[in-house]
Chain A
């Protein structure tokens, strides 16, 4: 079974609108962390946001927020006020066994969602 599932191969959004990128995960661990990365066409992997499994509040970083629904095992990324520069591939990832703070361990990635922002 896939540990990270991103069901939207591609998404389109109008500039200045908000968009939600879906991510569901599968783990039997109680402690885990969820990550979102952005990969522009240049290829680098840019960290966006993190949510620990024990965090009670949804994580936010500027225009990025993570809609964490633990019971549904979903960790959707919300981008508000989309900009043309947001056009990129977005990956959801999970680190099992560690909830937050100083943590380490491999990341397991989903297949990614290509976001296109239209002017």
Chain B
């Protein structure tokens, strides 16, 4: 059984629109992460979230991005005004009790 699910699996949006990507953990996790992967490139860290606040963020995670846990279960990544270069796969990840960082199935975002 997966540790996290992500919705939607694929989102198509127009440039300038807001998008919200969702991550739903199956069991209790303390740390959450968002990564993105532009097609054909490496996986890049965006932000980590612990105890309902951001613990670390990368240079990519600018004012256009925000994260929250609106209801204590879902973990969301919001992009306020999408740009063409935001087109990528976005992964949510959680730390398991062992050393493994488990990645969700991802949301493919296409900005047109």
Contact = CB atoms under 8 A, between A and B. Distances in A.
The dominant DSSP class at the B interface is strand
Contacts, number: 60
A96 B28 CA distance: 24
Interface footprint category on A:
20 to 34
Is chain A's binding surface mostly helix, strand, loop or mixed?
loop
Nearest to B97: A102
Interface in A84-119: 91, 93, 95, 98, 100-112
Contacts of A62: none
A24 to B, nearest CB: 15
Q: Which of A98, A104, A107, A111 has the most CB of B within 10 A?
A: A104
Given A33-B99, A43-B89, A106-B48, A91 B105 contact: no
Interface residues of B, number: 27
8 residue pairs, one from A and one from B, having the closest CB atoms: A45-B103, A109-B43, A106-B45, A104-B31, A104-B95, A109-B42, A50-B99, A47-B100
Interface of A: 33, 35, 37, 43-45, 47, 50, 52, 91, 93, 95, 98, 100-112
